[in-house]
Amino acid sequence: MTESALPTTSREWRLLSRPVGWPKPEDFELAEAEIRQPGPGEVLVRNAYVSVDPYMRGRMSAAKSYVAPFELGKAMQGGAVGEVVASAAEGVSVGDHVLHFGGWREYATFDAKQAVKVDPEAAPLSTYLGVLGMTGLTAYAGLLRTGSFKEGDSVFVSGAAGAVGSQVGQIARLKGASRVIGSAGSDEKVKLLVEEYGFDAAFNYKNGPVAAQLREAAPDGVDVYFDNVGGDHLEAAIGSLNEKGRIVICGMISVYNNTEPAPGPKNLARLIATRGRIEGLLVGDHYDLQPEFVQEVGGWVRSGELKYRETVVEGIENNLEAFLGVLRGDNTGKMIVKL
C-alpha cells in the first residue's frame, strides 16, 4: 500500500471512566481518530496484532503504581506488532516490521526509538507479543533470576495455562526441575498442562481447596512458587514451601477487580521456619536478559521443545472483549487480537 493510499482515520480504544470492580463496556469507547503522518524521527505503523494483558487492569485505576495510569479520553496503550507504512526516521524503512507499545488502535505514529525491529521470517509476528515477547521474558527472568531456579528444584506455577505460566513450567522442565506442578481453572487446561506442556502434575483449583490439592501434587514440597494468581494460591504455596524456598510474585489476577483490599495469607509466619523469600517481579527490570532469552527460548521454540498456544480474537472492535476474557481466564496461552 502506498503512502497516498493510506486511510485518513484509525479506530482506537479510549478509557472514559475508571472502572470500579469489574470493567464495564460503558467505561470505554471505540473512537475514530485522524492518522497523524510521522514527523522527523517518527514512524507510522499499521498494527497487525495487539496484546491484551492482566496488568492493564491496574492502569485503568488512578492509584499510584509502577506505571502511569491510562489517561481518560485518550487512546490506551499496550504491546503491538505491525508494519511500517511511513517513515521519517533514519534506519527504519517502509515495510519493516516492529514491536512497539502503541496498541489498542489500528494505526500508531510514534518516535522510532520506541520501536524494536522484528523478523517475520524468523518467527510468526504474533509470537513477538507472547512466547518471544514480554510475556516470555517475564517467565524467563522471573523463574531464573528472581526465583533463583536451580536444577533439581520443585516448581509450582499458578495460572499455569496462561501465557506466562505455561512458559515458566516448560522452562523449569527444560532446565532440569525435579517436579513441575501447575494449577488452572478447567479440567481441559489441566489436561493440556500435563499432556502437551509436560508438567508432572496439575490440578483444577475449582475442584477443591488449593492447599490440599497442592499437597497431593507436591508431597515433597515446593522450592519455587511462581505466582500469577495470589489469594488462596499464595497461602497454599507458603504452606508447602521447602526450606530456603523462593516465591516470585508476578501477578495477582484474583484480586485485580476487588473493591476492597484483599486480606494477606494467614500463614506468613511459616516463612520464618523455612527462611523463605518472597520477591516481586517487573519485567522492565530485566531487559538486559533479552538477547540471551531470545537465543535460548527461540531455539526451544524452533526445535519444538517448548510449545505455546495463542488465543486469537479477530478485529479491533473486539479488543475490549478480549481483555475482559483474559480477566475471566477464557484464554489458553497468550490472548492476542488480530487486526
282-327 pLDDT, tens per residue?
A: 998 999 998 899 899 999 998 999 999 999 999 999 999 999 999 9
Angstrom distance (rounded) from CA 193 to CA 309: 11
Angstrom distance (rounded) from CA 155 to CA 147: 10
Helix 290-303 to helix 134-141 angle (10° resolution) is: 100
Report the candidate in 100, 228, 98 with the shortest Cα–Cα distance to residue 164.
Answer: 228
What does pTM read for this prediction?
Answer: 0.84
Q: How many CB atoms lie within 10 A of CB 29?
A: 13
Report the candidate in 116, 104, 108 with the shortest Cα–Cα distance to residue 70.
Answer: 104
The length of the chain is 339
Distances 16 to 26, 31, 59, 68, 75 between C-alpha atoms, Å = 8, 11, 13, 16, 10
Mean model confidence pLDDT for the chain: 94
68-127 pLDDT, tens per residue?
A: 899 999 999 999 999 999 999 999 999 999 999 999 999 999 999 999 899 898 889 999
Grid cell digits, residue 107: 494505526
Residues 6 or more apart whose Cβ sits within 8 Å of residue 208: none
1: confidence class by pLDDT, cuts 50, 70, 90: very low
With the C-alpha atoms ordered 34, 35, 40, 45, is the resulting torsion angle positive or negative? Answer: positive
In this prediction, residue 4 carries a pLDDT of 52
Angstrom distance (rounded) from CA 202 to CA 213: 9
Contact yes or no for 87/93 (Cβ under 8 A): yes
In this prediction, residue 259 carries a pLDDT of 66
Q: Which helix or strand (DSSP H or E) is residue 262 part of?
A: none
265-275 pLDDT, tens per residue?
A: 999 999 999 99
**Is pLDDT larger for residue 278 or for residue 68?**
278
Strand partners, 42: 111
Angstrom distance (rounded) from CA 42 to CA 36: 10
